[in-house]
Amino acid sequence: MDSKTTDFVHLIADGIVCNTEARGHATPGGRPPTEIVVDATEGFIPLWRAGSILKWRFQERSFARAPDPDGSQATVFELMSEALLRWGSAAPVTFTRDSDLWDFEIVLRNASDCTPQGCVLASSFFPDAGRHELVIYPTMFEQAREEQIETLIHEFGHVFGLRHFFAVVSETAWPSEIFGKHSPFSIMNYGPKSKLTEADLKDLTELYRLAWTGRLTNINGTPIRFVRPYSAQAEPSAPVAADLLVNTSHAA
């Protein structure tokens, strides 16, 4: 693997990679990689505004290619629900299903995305006001159920604004900043240390609590900027008849 590839592709486990953060991160100030890592690529740290609701839908045409489209959607819904329940009240946003006014689509690829470095299981996005995709690859369903859940826990960590645990030491192309402290065991890490921990939950809760109450306006000099979902900037075309996935928002 050449040095450029090393900066952009990392193994989660044997033959598994995550490409949500393909743009990489810079190492801030030489601090040790024992803290939560947040995005600073655009010159600020994007966090969701308090009370944000992310509206989602299945991309029907992508599921239509599955042997059992309805069954596939039911399986993904169950895995998403379990992943968000694991984040619990630490999750800074509420998720609700809305086929009309949506912020992201769940996309099911019909082919694997594999390189000599490994196969992608899923990819997601970071906080901003655009529309996005949370992509799931068929290789994910070849994993044990717990690995499938942990994959989506990891991807929702990105949605909340978290970077890879090791970004500060091995992804050096774009800026990131660190906040709080925890053990190297983190859902945002890879391999056997990739587990959702109490430290993950506490750090994420504290990050948003301090930011929402105005007690934290920057991290290591990089300003925090609150973003609103796409759907919050447009009037709904019809009353929302949405399936609530799981309510995990909490007051500032």
Which tops the pLDDT comparison, 235 or 203?
203
Highest mean pLDDT, choosing among 38-42, 109-113, 115-119: 109-113
Residue 42's pLDDT band, with cuts at 50, 70 and 90, is confident
- Measured distance CA(197)–CA(36) in Å, rounded: 12
The distance from CA 181 to its chain's CA centroid, rounded to whole angstroms, is 19
The answer to whether the CB of 57 falls within 8 A of the CB of 98 is yes
Which tops the pLDDT comparison, 167 or 114?
114
> So what's the pLDDT on residue 127?
94
Domain ranges of the chain: 3-18+25-235
* pTM of the predicted model as reported, rounded to 2 decimal places: 0.78
Which tops the pLDDT comparison, 58 or 169?
58
Q: At residue 137, does pLDDT exceed 50?
A: yes
Considering only 3-7, 139-143, 189-193, 215-219, which range has the smallest mean pLDDT?
3-7
- The DSSP secondary structure of 114-174, one letter per residue, reads EETTEEE-EE---SSSS-EEEEE-GGGGGS-HHHHHHHHHHHHHHHTTB--TTHHHH--SS
Residue 91's pLDDT band, with cuts at 50, 70 and 90, is very high
- Measured distance CA(169)–CA(60) in Å, rounded: 39
201 token code pair: 């939950």
> So what's the pLDDT on residue 125?
92
The class (CATH top level) of 3-18+25-235 is alpha beta
The mean of the pLDDT values for the chain is: 77
> So what's the pLDDT on residue 199?
86
> So what's the pLDDT on residue 249?
38
Q: At residue 18, does pLDDT exceed 60?
A: no
Percent of the chain whose pLDDT exceeds 70: 67
Q: Is 8 helix (H, G, I), strand (E, B) or coil?
A: helix
Task: Count CB-CB contacts under 10 A for residue 113.
Answer: 16
Which tops the pLDDT comparison, 171 or 196?
196
Q: At residue 1, does pLDDT exceed 90?
A: no
> So what's the pLDDT on residue 152?
95
Of the candidates 109, 126, 142, 119, the residue with the CA atom closest to the CA atom of residue 20: 126
Q: Calculate mean pLDDT across residues 184-211.
A: 81
- In terms of Cβ atoms closer than 10 Å to its own Cβ (0-12, 13-18, 19+), residue 139 is buried
Which tops the pLDDT comparison, 234 or 6?
234
> So what's the pLDDT on residue 116?
78
